[in-house]
Structure 1
Amino acid sequence: MTRLSVLDLIPVREGGTVSEAFAASAQLARTAEAAGYHRFWIAEHHAMEGIAGGATSVAIAHIGSVTRTIRIGSGGIMLPNHTPFQIAEQFGTLDALYPGRIDLGLGRAPGAGPELQRALRKNLHAASEYFPQDVIELRALLTGDQDLPIRATPGHGSNVELWMLGSSLFGAQLAARLGLPYAFASHFAPDHLDDALAIYRRDFQPSATLDRPRVMAAMQVICAPTDDEAQFLASSQAQAFVRLRSGKPGKLPPPIRNYCAGLPAQAQAMLAHLEQAAAVGSPETVRNRITAFTERTRADEIIVAGSTYDPAARCRSLELTMEALQTIGAEC
């Protein structure tokens, strides 16, 4: 069976608090670990009242404290927002706290307007141009395989698994050149998925840590006992996405039955476009969708995203999804 992992945005729901969001994320991670998921990643976002993962390394430490075996990490750290040295120290610290469990997924998109650039005291668009060199420097700070004028402590000699993230061809090309595993953000940007994976596999150059291409692909996955209930639960995520694309982001709203039917045609088309990397429905529906997507991508691992207003429904979705995929192995 293809490995399954979890991507969490630590959503803050309407009527809820940031503290409640962190508690829900911790319970989600415990559920994922018990169900057999391979890793649990948190994504870096800033200045969004509905997403609490801005201090990503701190949030990962929180998840590490309530789990024992599941790999934990970033999906991802947006490196232009930081210096390689700072990230080496942070993830070296995480590796010292939770040895052999830490992943560092790296992304290039700053995802920031002028206000955030001023708050971070960085020209993020200029910093993104140095992204390839910063990745090389960060890897050297962690592995010690280059003679650098400064050593990160913690960080130097740590056992952090680096991943390249992407939603375009750039990340695929860089991951191939550096011999890094590659994760594609198809759950929100599926357009270049097939071309990116083809380029990555074609151009992959073995490295000291990876001898062959390794691919992870992301899907929006909400599983419930019936298709109708799953679509109802998924309407919270759909509302959040439409609001984001409309320039009106906010906290995660309660679900609305038949939400998509009342949307303008343009919004319906936008959501329908994302369905090529989504599995929303009953266990049978989810099993069939994930199986077809895995056959299409030949991914070594699928990482499932998707938020529900009721945190317990997301936990149940993870359990049902894993049970559905394990059924395939039992039938073979």
Structure 2
Amino acid sequence: MRRIIVGALQLFFLVVFLLASALTFHTWRTWDWSYDDVPLPDVSASSDPAVIARGEYLVYGPSHCVECHARSFEEFQKVVNNEKVPLQGGTRFEAPPLGVIYSKNLTPDKETGIGRYTDGQIARMMRYNVRPDGRASVAPMMPFHNMSDEDMVAIISFLRAQPPVRNQVPENEWTVPGKIIRSISSTFKPRDAAIVKPPKVAPEEKPTRERGEYLARYVANCVGCHTPLHDTTFEPIGPDFSGGEEFEPMPLPGVDMQTWFRTPNITPLKGGALMKFPDRATFVARFKVGGRQHPGTPMPWEAYAKMSADDIGAVYEFLRSLPASDGATGEVTFKKTD
């Protein structure tokens, strides 16, 4: 009997060893895999002032690029104060269990920014989540894959027109668990070409449901924060826009770092956040005022306040058209004690 137990234990540990070895080998081979075969979108930056102005609106407004691509949280305080700062990158984001992520330099510096890359390489990163060097990016948190060609050209054109800022940003620091997650989670792979179906032209800037869905899903990323995600793989685990995703506070002056945020349900559920606004006008008014009622909230109020009334109204019309989904309806702040 003792011999059988010993043999069973040996077999068990052998299986565990083989599985661990297979996972280690798979991670080593694939966590930083090259996807350079993903095609480059056929887009080219424009020097047309109207196109560049449109790009500036998108970058500092609905797409809120500055929320991540400022130099630091200290400099981001200027954004909170409604000052414009360059998109030179460098903000350090602690992202357990993945590691440390640094936002990249989006100015056209030829050594440290996007001046090193072609328009197609920039567009591929935005649309397919593939960096210019062929590796997968952490950019899937911004769902630009179905942003229109027109808007993508506008953004790239504006980024090209900025003054270059020399700022060498550190490489991301991946933990061992982070490398494993990158090797197995679809979140950190190139986007499936089957879902990349961008329109040539964006829906007209009017307060319509169609325009609102385009903004909420592919430009302003309402869906990214207001949808619950798996803590490890960052894949959706609940209905779109149903809320419940938890965020630590931004480390700004005077912020209580123990006060975390839980995104609210923004479907038309009774008791949900959206239903606090009886009509489009009150929704637009709140966003145009901007301002952070809760210090440290990751909600980009300053950027959204720069959106046109028609664009904000379009988001409202889209959200009101959704089916009500069960989800987070409680307080948006809570104390994190662990």
Q: TM-score range by the shorter chain?
A: under 0.3
TM-score, normalisation: structure 1: 0.25
Higher strand share: 1
Q: Based on CA coordinates, which of the two structures has the bigger radius of gyration? A: 2
Higher helix share: 1
TM-score, normalisation: structure 2: 0.25
